[in-house]
Chains A and B, each alone.
Chain A
């Protein structure tokens, strides 16, 4: 799976789960201010990404620090690559 495919699948999964418009999912989008996601949504996001990519995120402190969509993309790409290796 290429990085672009990971980004697209991440965006699609988030858009479907949180009823967001795909056009709003720009890399610089802030989860709180631009997408209106709260701390409870972070829990759901972990579940959705774990199921989408078959990775284990759990209560990883790194994901709790993520504020922007581009950081989430990088995080998922790293996780996916680490899982494959």
Chain B
């Protein structure tokens, strides 16, 4: 048993060492270069302060994807920039801490994330998130959230929401909360669903070590909330159900979903006993 585990353990050590060394270098690089990048974007691209920081975060995400692609396979099908109505409400299913990094795969950068309060307390990240004008949804009422998000949409900034509200513990798609759909019905801005798969196995919730699992990031068909106006006061509920079905179908078809790898099978408790 021990001999059969050794290749996988060695692979795990190599992947984690390589990935986290690269991750530290990436963070240091962004930390050192971001002031210069900020000045360049402000002067040459005429970005606003928040826009410049959002672009830096997006570049950071892109670099993270390049880093990860050295260790695992990443399948990206996020279409072209023209396929994203701007502004839009981008919905992403949530499996892992690294899902936010995967947004570097999108062809657009001017996106504000809706996040809970704890990520704002992460050193380094929290500062950038505040500068990028991310929305802290903790303890916000429905009216406050819609009002705040509408302001961003009116400025031409897209909003990114994880409709499950939290990371999935078991890889299954969780319940979708209504906030994003209420916003879509009130603002009439289109919904762009982005389905991520594999990140939950790459770095599961509550774990620190990454595993050699593939990741896929795919942009699904845009949903126009106007088509749901016919449902009256149930419009946002029907919109929510339609969006969830899209994600469910995509995850069902995904070759990555719920299939344990050889590595995870080898380390299952039953086999190690």
Contacts and interface: CB of A to CB of B under 8 A. Distances in A.
Contact of A47 (B141, B175, B179, B237): B237
A18 interface: yes
Interface string B210-243: 0000000000000000000000011011000000
A66 interface: no
Given A17-B237, A51-B234, A44 B142 contact: no
B179 A40 contact: yes
A39 B234 CA distance: 17
Contacts of B142: 39-40, 43
A52 to B, nearest CB: 12
A41 B237 CA distance: 10
Contacts of A51: 234
Contacts of B237: 17, 44, 47-48
B177 interface: yes
Interface residues of A, number: 13
Interface residues of B, number: 12
B182 interface: yes
**Interface of chain A, main secondary structure:** helix
A5 interface: no
Contacts of B236: 44
Given A47-B233, A47-B234, A47-B237, A41 B177 contact: yes
B136 interface: no
Contact of B182 (A18, A40, A48): A40
Contact of A18 (B145, B175, B179, B233): B175
B139 to A, nearest CB: 9
B141 A43 contact: no
B178 to A, nearest CB: 5
Interface string B143-155: 0010000000000
B234 A40 contact: no
A17 B175 CA distance: 10
Contacts of A40: 142, 145, 177-179, 182
Nearest to B166: A36
A33 interface: no
Interface string A1-21: 000000000000000011100
Contacts of A43: 142, 178, 182
A38 interface: yes
Most buried by A among B178, B179, B236: B178
Contacts of A48: 237
Cβ-closest 3 pairs across A and B = A19-B175, A40-B142, A40-B178
Given A41-B178, A43-B142, A47-B233, 15 more contacts: A17-B237, A18-B175, A19-B175, A36-B175, A39-B141, A40-B142, A40-B145, A40-B177, A40-B182, A41-B177, A43-B178, A43-B182, A44-B236, A47-B237, A48-B237
23 contacts: A17-B237, A19-B175, A38-B177, A39-B141, A39-B142, A40-B142, A40-B145, A40-B177, A40-B179, A40-B182, A41-B177, A41-B178, A43-B142, A43-B178, A43-B182, A44-B178, A44-B236, A44-B237, A47-B233, A47-B234, A47-B237, A48-B237, A51-B234
